[in-house]
C-alpha cells in the first residue's frame, strides 16, 4: 500500500470519529432536553418576606379600629386633609407595626406607634395629597403587624382612604389652625376660597362640627368675564373650647348641583392657664413618712378655693392669697399596702379655668429593694 493510500485511510478514520462524536453530543443534548421537559416544574424561590397565612392572620383581624375607611368627600385643591387611624391592642402581649404601604401615591401613610403594648393604641397617620392629584382618588393602606408571643406571627390590617379633589376650587391656607391658644380666650383666623367655573357659583352656608367654632363668609370677588369668584371665611374660636387638641371640619354648602358640599379642616391646641404636673411617686415602702409639694403656676394671679383628693390617704394643706405661684404641701398615709391611682381636683377663682385635674399614683409595698440588696 502506497503512502497516499495510508494517508487517505487516516483522514477518513478521523472524519468518522468526529462525526460520531458530534452525533453523540447532539443525541445527548436532545435526550437532556426531553428529560427536562418530562420533569415537574421546580417551585419558585420563596420570598424572604414572611408570608401571612389565614391561620396566623386571625389574631390581626381581631382588632377594632376607630374607622376602616376615611372618606374626605369633595375637598378644595391645596387643602390639607389628614386622618389618624387607631386601634387598641387587645392582646396580652405587645404588637409591632413593622411597615406600611399604599396602593396610590395620593395617600402618604406613616406609622406613629411602631411598638404598641397591651391596652395601648396603635396609630397610623394618613395624608391625602390635594396638590399633586385631582379628581376621584382612593387608596388602600396596608399595615404589616408582628407579634412574638406565644410564637412569632405576622399579619396585616387594611384601611381605605378616598375623596374627590376639586381643581376648580382652591383653599388658602391649606388648613385653618389655632396654635397655642390660651384657655378662655377668643381667637379668630381667616381663609380664602377661590373658584373658577360657573359665574353663578355661590357658597350658601358654612357648617361647623364644633359648636365653639363659628364662621362668617364674605364675598370678595365675582367676575363674570373670567368666571372667578372669591370668598373670605372669618373663623372664630370662642373661649369655651376645652383644654387640649382638637381636629374638626367645616362643610361649605354651595349651589353646585353636581357637588354641593366641600370640606376643610380646622384644628388647634388650647393650652391650660394653670401649669401643674401629674404626680407619679413610684414604689414607696409601707409606713414610710411622705411629705411632698405640688406646684401650680399661672400667667396671671389666681386663688385656690379648694383641693380635693380622690383618696383619703392624701391630705393637702391650704394655700391662701391670690398669686401666680401656689405651693401645696401634702402628706401621704402609707400604712396600707396597695396601689393608689386617683385624681386631685383643684378649684380656682379663674373663670377661664375654674377646675384643674391632676393624676396621682403610687405603689405602696411591704418592702422595697435596690440593686445593692442581696
Mean pLDDT value across residues 119-124: 95
pLDDT tens per residue, range 269-280: 998 888 899 999
pLDDT above 90: percentage of residues in the chain: 70
CATH class entry, domain 54-165:
mainly beta
| pLDDT value at 102 more than 80 | yes
Could you please state the CATH topology (level 3) that the domain comprising 274-365 is classified under: Immunoglobulin-like (2.60.40)
pLDDT tens per residue, range 137-154: 999 999 999 998 888 999
Mean pLDDT value across residues 1-12: 45
Q: What is the rounded CA–CA span in Å between residue 360 and residue 308?
A: 12
**65, burial (CB in 10 Å: exposed 0-12, middle 13-18, buried 19+):** middle
Q: What is the rounded CA–CA span in Å between residue 77 and residue 106?
A: 13
Query: Both ends of the chain: CA-CA distance in Å?
Result: 110
Residue 44: pLDDT band with limits 50, 70, 90: very low
pLDDT of residue 108: 97
Q: Which residues pair with 317 in a beta bridge?
A: none
**CB neighbours of 249 closer than 8 A, spacing ≥ 6?**
208, 209, 263, 264, 265, 266
| pLDDT value at 123 more than 50 | yes
pLDDT of residue 272: 82
Q: What's 62's DSSP letter?
A: G
| pLDDT value at 78 more than 80 | yes
pLDDT tens per residue, range 184-207: 889 999 999 999 999 999 999 999
Looking from the CA of 283 toward its CB, the CA atoms found within 13 Å total 6
Number of Cβ within a 10 Å radius of residue 268: 23
Answer yes or no: are the C-beta atoms of 276 and 348 closer than 8 Å: no
372 or 31: which leads in pLDDT: 372
Q: What's 92's DSSP letter?
A: S
Residue 23: pLDDT band with limits 50, 70, 90: very low
Residue 41: pLDDT band with limits 50, 70, 90: very low
Q: What is the rounded CA–CA span in Å between residue 107 and residue 126?
A: 6
| pLDDT value at 7 more than 90 | no
Q: What's 47's DSSP letter?
A: P
CATH class entry, domain 175-271:
mainly beta
| pLDDT value at 118 more than 60 | yes
Q: What is the rounded CA–CA span in Å between residue 272 and residue 243?
A: 6
pLDDT above 70: percentage of residues in the chain: 83
Answer yes or no: are the C-beta atoms of 103 and 139 closer than 8 Å: yes
pLDDT of residue 45: 33
Residue span(s) of the chain under CATH 2.60.40.10 come to: 54-165, 175-271, 274-365
pLDDT of residue 5: 46
Mean pLDDT value across residues 47-70: 72
Answer yes or no: are the C-beta atoms of 113 and 94 closer than 8 Å: no
56-65, 118-127, 195-204, 290-299: which has the minimum mean pLDDT?
A: 56-65
Peptide bond into 150 cis (omega under 30): yes
Q: What is the rounded CA–CA span in Å between residue 367 and residue 374?
A: 13
**What average pLDDT does the structure give for the chain?**
85
pLDDT tens per residue, range 222-257: 998 999 999 999 999 998 898 888 999 999 999 998
Residue 50: pLDDT band with limits 50, 70, 90: low
Amino acid at each position: 500500500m502506497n503512502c497516499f493510500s495510508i494517508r487517505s485511510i487516516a483522514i477518513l478514520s478521523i472524519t468518522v470519529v468526529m462525526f460520531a462524536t458530534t452525533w453523540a453530543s447532539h443525541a445527548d443534548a436532545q435526550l437532556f432536553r426531553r428529560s427536562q421537559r418530562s420533569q415537574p416544574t421546580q417551585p419558585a424561590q420563596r420570598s424572604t418576606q414572611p408570608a401571612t397565612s389565614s391561620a396566623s392572620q386571625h389574631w390581626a383581624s381581631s382588632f377594632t379600629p376607630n374607622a376602616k375607611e376615611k372618606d374626605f368627600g369633595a375637598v378644595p385643591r391645596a387643602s390639607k386633609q389628614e386622618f389618624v387611624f387607631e386601634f387598641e391592642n387587645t392582646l396580652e402581649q405587645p404588637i409591632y407595626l413593622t411597615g406600611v404601604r399604599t396602593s396610590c401615591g395620593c395617600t402618604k401613610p406613616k406609622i406613629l406607634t411602631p411598638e404598641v403594648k397591651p391596652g395601648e393604641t396603635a396609630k397610623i397617620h394618613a395624608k391625602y395629597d390635594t396638590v399633586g392629584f385631582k379628581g376621584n382618588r382612593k387608596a388602600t393602606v396596608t399595615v404589616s403587624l408582628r407579634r412574638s408571643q406565644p410564637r412569632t406571627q405576622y399579619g396585616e390590617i387594611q384601611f381605605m382612604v378616598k375623596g374627590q379633589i376639586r381643581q376648580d376650587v382652591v383653599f388658602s391656607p391649606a388648613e385653618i389652625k389655632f396654635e397655642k391658644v390660651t384657655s378662655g380666650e377668643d381667637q379668630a383666623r381667616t381663609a380664602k376660597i377661590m373658584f373658577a367655573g360657573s359665574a353663578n357659583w355661590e357658597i350658601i352656608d358654612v357648617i361647623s362640627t364644633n359648636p365653639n367654632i363659628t364662621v362668617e363668609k364674605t364675598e370678595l370677588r365675582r367676575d363674570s368675564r373670567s368666571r372667578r369668584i372669591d370668598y373670605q371665611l372669618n373663623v372664630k374660636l370662642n373661649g369655651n373650647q376645652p383644654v387640649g387638641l382638637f381636629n374638626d371640619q367645616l362643610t361649605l354648602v354651595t349651589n353646585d348641583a353636581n357637588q354641593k358640599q366641600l370640606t376643610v379642616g380646622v384644628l388647634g391646641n388650647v393650652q391650660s392657664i394653670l401649669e401643674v404636673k401629674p404626680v407619679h411617686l413610684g414604689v414607696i415602702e409601707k409606713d414610710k413618712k411622705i411629705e411632698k409639694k405640688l406646684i401650680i403656676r399661672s400667667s396671671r394671679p389666681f386663688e385656690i378655693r379648694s383641693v380635693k383628693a380622690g383618696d383619703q390617704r392624701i391630705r393637702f394643706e391650704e394655700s391662701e392669697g391670690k398669686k401666680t405661684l401656689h405651693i401645696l404641701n401634702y402628706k401621704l398615709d402609707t400604712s396600707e399596702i396597695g396601689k393608689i391611682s386617683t385624681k386631685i381636683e383643684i378649684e380656682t377663682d379663674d373663670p377661664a379655668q375654674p377646675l384643674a385635674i391632676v393624676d396621682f399614683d403610687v405603689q405602696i409595698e411591704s418592702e422595697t429593694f435596690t440593686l445593692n440588696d442581696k
